[in-house]
Amino acid sequence: MSAAATLAELGDRLRMDIIDPDTAAALGERVIRESLEDFERKRARLQPITDDVADALREDCWGCKNGYLEALARGHWEGFHHHVDDFIAEHGLSIQRGTLPYWELCRSVAKAAADGERIAETRLTNDLEGEREILAKYQPSAEPSAERAPSTDAPRRPPTKGRERKRRRFADHLDEFAQDKLELGEWGDSTAEQQTSRNQRFLDLVGNWPLDDIEPRTVRDYRSQLGQLPVHMNKRKAYRDKSAVELVDMEIPESDLMSPRTVGEYLDALSSYLSWCVQMGYAQTNPAREIRKPKWKQNPRIPFEAPELRSLLLNDDMRNGRMGRAWRHWSPLIALLSGTRAGEIAQLRVADVRGRGQGEPVLSINDDDGKKLKTDHARREIPVHSQLIEAGFLEYVDDIERRGYARLFPHLTVPDERPHRNLSRWFAEYRLSCGIGGGEDDNKQFHSFRGTARTAMGRAGVPKPHIDEVIGHAPQEIGERHYQHGYTFDQRKKAIEAIQIDGLDLSPLRGVWRHYV
């Protein structure tokens, strides 16, 4: 006898000593029965069975069988855990996941699943003898073997209905998860919809697995599949009528594929849900935490140069009041001369321009009236730059207030979840019309105004803590984080007035705002 044959026989003996053959046979018979029920339902749906249909069914059976045999050869059991766990719970067996008996039951399921596909193939050719030969392997022995060694696990317990354990699957709690986030105020409606849609992709590609069967390599394979999907697959005509599984098998142009950053966002959504399931006691672990997200390179947001600022702020449309709306006129100016973010500008209310009649006007960035802040450090008061005052900003605010508006820019639609979106989208088109940005390294965005302001203050010698204070950044030094409680108006005013761009004269914009009211 060859060494390989000897080892195989020894392995069979060891398995027989560890798992009761009748137990393995009962589990295998159950798997085959379920597999054949699925096959017969599929065959009934496809009636009448033409030669082409029979060939397609046969090819399907062949592919599934080979898939099970490959899993059997490689020891990839993750697709079989739910069969084994359900069987253990229903029969009151004391077999723990991770033990050798547990893996042998997984092996039995894989072999039975392959045999189930073999039987389906025989049914397509009416080979009843072949079916009987396969099923004979799953008949329990007539008498227990006296030589059989006892199980290394604890004794079996009789099946008890009350002992059946709830098998929680991936889709069971998605709605509950979203509702919990909404009630806590952590999400808005659009975020809940987005996150649920992202987790739906896991269902599309992986399936509705039991939560405790999802392993790190399951998430790793999911990550690989995401990278083969096109971005906006539900919107693009070429892809929207195809399933995620079909798209993974297609040759998608690289330019259409999800970016590494988007893949990472899908993995974040999965990890967030699984972590919540662990907190709620629905799952034991979060395997997504162990999987690295793809690396992606973010284009740096480069400050604007003086010629670019002149193109953006002093073109004919800006000078002659042809921007269409007041917010398009004021938002670039405010961003440059205060360093505020797009979302902060979009949410401004008339009441946020404080101290107008007291000689110390400020922009108050706060979360009053449901406004959203990026961080706690974003809450601040920024002195209004003298060039904004000269351009008529305070006059505009007074005029809007007299007209009864609460919002500073009432004609700018502000989405609840992403206040910056519409302003940023408009500016993305506007700066291209001014000949700025575009190309492979498209790193000039609305946020570049913020970098321009910070750079100007730094070049003027403004202390870094003062810059952080007006920009709304967290202090970098430990002492500053713990003991800094705000600088005086004069200190902040000096920092803001340091935003001066050589060759940029905004005096032609005085009074232009009146075109918009």
**pLDDT confidence band for 1 (50 / 70 / 90):** very low
CB contact at 8 A, 192 and 235: no
Domain presence at residue 408: yes
What's the CA gap between 449 and 455, in Å, rounded?
10
Domain presence at residue 158: no
Q: Check residues 43 and 422 and name the one with the higher pLDDT.
A: 422
DSSP annotation of 382: E
User: What would the pLDDT profile of 351-407 be if each residue is shown by its tens digit?
Assistant: 999 988 788 899 999 989 888 888 778 899 999 999 999 999 999 999 999 999 999
280 plus 310 within the same structural domain: no
Both tokens assigned to 384: 């209004």
Verify cis geometry, omega within 30 degrees of 0, for the bond prior to 48. yes
**pLDDT confidence band for 514 (50 / 70 / 90):** very high
Per-chain mean pLDDT for the chain: 82
Backbone torsions φ then ψ of 383, nearest 5 degrees: -55, 140
Q: Give the pLDDT mean for 25-29.
A: 80
What's the CA gap between 5 and 1, in Å, rounded?
6
279 plus 328 within the same structural domain: no
274 plus 368 within the same structural domain: no
Q: Does residue 454 have a pLDDT over 90? A: yes
Domain presence at residue 164: no
Q: Does residue 165 have a pLDDT over 70? A: no
Helices 100-124 and 81-90, packing angle to 10 deg: 110
Domain presence at residue 99: yes
377 plus 500 within the same structural domain: yes
Domain presence at residue 299: no
For the chain, what is the domain count? 3
52 plus 192 within the same structural domain: no
Query: Which pLDDT value is given to residue 356?
Result: 83
Domain span at residue 431?
Answer: 306-516
Sign of CA dihedral 157, 161, 162, 164: positive
Q: Percentage of the chain with pLDDT > 70?
A: 85
Most confident range, picked from 14-18, 300-304, 323-327, 471-475:
323-327
Q: What are 460-468's contacts with CB under 8 Å, separation 24+? A: 460/498, 460/500, 461/498, 462/494, 462/495, 462/498, 466/491, 466/492, 466/494, 466/495, 467/495, 468/377
First CA to last CA distance, the chain: 98
336 plus 263 within the same structural domain: no
Residue 462 contacts by C-beta under 8 Å, 6 or more apart in sequence?
494, 495, 498
Domain presence at residue 429: yes
379 plus 479 within the same structural domain: yes
348 plus 453 within the same structural domain: yes
Q: What is the dihedral of CA 243, 247, 250, 251, to 10 degrees?
A: 150
327 plus 361 within the same structural domain: yes
Task: Identify the bridge partners of residue 382 per DSSP, sorted by sequence position.
Answer: 363
What's the CA gap between 137 and 20, in Å, rounded?
14
323 plus 436 within the same structural domain: yes
CB contact at 8 A, 139 and 25: yes
**pLDDT confidence band for 299 (50 / 70 / 90):** low
Q: What is the CATH number of the domain that holds 488?
A: 1.10.443.10
Domain endpoint, select from 88, 114, 136: 136
